[in-house]
Chain A
Amino acid sequence: MVPLTLFLKVQLRPTGIIALRALPQSKMRTALRYVPPTTLIGAIAYPLLHISGNRGETTYEKKNFKSKAESVMSLFKWVTIKTEGRPKLYGSLLKINTIYRGKVQSAVTSFPFAVFYGDSTNSLTAAYFVDEDVLSESTYSTKDLERASWGITRLGSRESIVSVEDVKKGKVQLREANNVKTAYAFPFKGVNVQGKGTLQMVVDWRSGIGDYSNAKRMVMFYPEGTVEVQGRLSIAELDGEVVVLAP
């Protein structure tokens, strides 16, 4: 029998603006246009840890510090997102003049962010594929995961608030395919794509979250609308939609 995998399909409505730091622990002011998988893990980790009464954000092991989100990371086999509409990248230029105890300082900085605004009212759909073996050995239940999905509050920075408008839960079969149509972001490796979209280099979350200096990167393709993908694909069908998973 083919094992079935639990999935959660979470519809998110932005409050207009999503500010995603390309390098989370750096002062470099570069922003991502699309939501990377690490942010999706962080987004669900927050309510999940809240439910378990764990306020931990950072764990310190000797000289290593990591995001607490890593403790829930293994609950997921794969995460991805569907972005409706084409977010616009915008940055306002700020000129800062400060007079501080006699010293006058001047600086120019910018705060770029992606603006999610347009006619689609449900512009983001996150898909979480749960590793049920890991879940059964964890302190969390399926219900906790489902409640956590409803409790996602933001993607990235504290300004990037989202509300969860709908959560669909179900079982899905993972299978192989050679040619599919998808609107969800997928790893751009060994595939042929027909259609429009954006390539974005992101951190491969499976190598760890929190310390990104040595983290593995991967290139993701974020479709604009639906695209056709060819290759040796591992896919899942949920709710009539196809998601291409990492090989």
Chain B
Amino acid sequence: MFLSVGVRFEANVEALNMVETAGNYGKHRRVPYLVEEEGKLKTVYVPAMSGESLAHAYQEHLVREALSAGLPVCDDCQRGEFYKSMNKVHLKKKVDPIPDNPKSIEEAIVKACVVEDVGGFLYAEKPPVRRSSAFQVSYALPVKSVALFATSEPQLHARHAQMDASSKKGNASEQMIYYVETGTALYGFTFNLDLDAVGVSAITSKPILDEDEIKKRREASLKALFRMLSSSQFGAKLSRFFPVGGITELVVAATDYPFVVTSPIYDDYIVKTKKRLEVLRSFGEESFLAVAGEEKVPEEALKEAIDYLHEKGAF
């Protein structure tokens, strides 16, 4: 079973994805957009959020969901440090001595940690062992038709230090000014989750865990997505730059084999997704689609998708 979700969310004055600081200036991630103006193409830079940033948030939610379901998560991942058994030092914490064949290495990692089972890993030693992530996230980018309205704007902030005459701090500055670049846009992103990958070896293609455990892990990975979207807990600087806004639209599709909803950065994404799902019917494949917008809230649409997957025996 394969789940694909397209999300549109409004975020005003957000600092969800910061990159490079230059002096006291913290810059928002930006990407170039090509727009047509009077028949000519020009480039504008718009605020963006990387797929890695969203993936990190998803995996943090996955840690919590897995632990509350009594499923194993390794110490590194529990701390939100997703090294993913990248070398001997990290792998030794899971299995010691380290087996010499890739099959046993993968098995040990998958058994020890739900995050690495679902989110994949790359053990970069000899032999290297690789497991692709069962979920995929696109960048969150401004919706195409209104991209020109997206802004990134620096906000001035100041930190003050209390000082008195006897202070021997010399010429330490009494205040420091700094800028945080904030973005405002209607964003769209796509999230895919391949439920068939959970608990199954990427080498032998055989289940590593028993069916009951696999189902529990699938449920946790769905709940993690639900919680991430419903709580708007993704991106950085939420403590002081919690964006004003929320999910405005959402489509969720469930299919037997991989299928990706049309990206919500395009205005026709709901119509296109519906049409394309109809094509799958000609292959004798059942599918599910729910749209949240005016009549349905995102939670309802996601719940329906989860109910559908439950009925189909995914968990």
Tell me if A103 is interfacial: C-beta within 8 Å of chain B.
no
Please, what's the 1-or-0 string for B246-278, where 1 marks a CB less than 8 Å from any CB in chain A?
Answer: 000000000001111111011010001100100
Chain A residues closer than 8 Å to B262, beta-carbon distance: 13, 163, 165
Tell me if B203 is interfacial: C-beta within 8 Å of chain A.
yes
Q: How far is the CA of A13 from the CA of B36 in the complex (A)?
A: 19
Interface residues on A, range: 35 or more
A54 adjacent to B205 (CB under 8 Å): yes
From the candidates B127, B139, B196, B261, name the one contacting A16 in the complex (CB within 8 A).
B139
Tell me if A118 is interfacial: C-beta within 8 Å of chain B.
yes
B41 adjacent to A150 (CB under 8 Å): no
A158 adjacent to B55 (CB under 8 Å): yes
Please, what's the 1-or-0 string for A12-55, where 1 marks a CB less than 8 Å from any CB in chain B?
Answer: 01111100000000000000000000000000001100110111
A159 adjacent to B136 (CB under 8 Å): yes
Tell me if B221 is interfacial: C-beta within 8 Å of chain A.
no
Interface residues on B, range: 35 or more
Please, what's the 1-or-0 string for A86-102, where 1 marks a CB less than 8 Å from any CB in chain B?
Answer: 00101011110000000
Chain B residues closer than 8 Å to A115, beta-carbon distance: 31-34
Tell me if B194 is interfacial: C-beta within 8 Å of chain A.
yes
A57 adjacent to B276 (CB under 8 Å): no
From the candidates A13, A65, A93, A94, name the one contacting B266 in the complex (CB within 8 A).
A13
B266 adjacent to A150 (CB under 8 Å): no
Tell me if B211 is interfacial: C-beta within 8 Å of chain A.
no
Q: How far is the CA of A16 from the CA of B142 in the complex (A)?
A: 10
A56 adjacent to B202 (CB under 8 Å): yes
A50 adjacent to B137 (CB under 8 Å): no
**Residues from 75 to 118 in A contacting B, C-beta threshold 8 Å:** 85, 88, 90, 92-95, 111, 115, 117-118
Q: How far is the CB of A27 from chain B (nearest CB, A)?
A: 9
Q: Which 7 A-B pairs have the closest CB atoms?
A: A159-B51, A15-B138, A151-B258, A118-B34, A15-B263, A57-B202, A55-B205
A residues contacting B by CB (< 8 A) are: 13-17, 46-47, 50-51, 53-60, 63, 65, 85, 88, 90, 92-95, 111, 115, 117-119, 121, 143, 146-148, 150-154, 158-165, 167
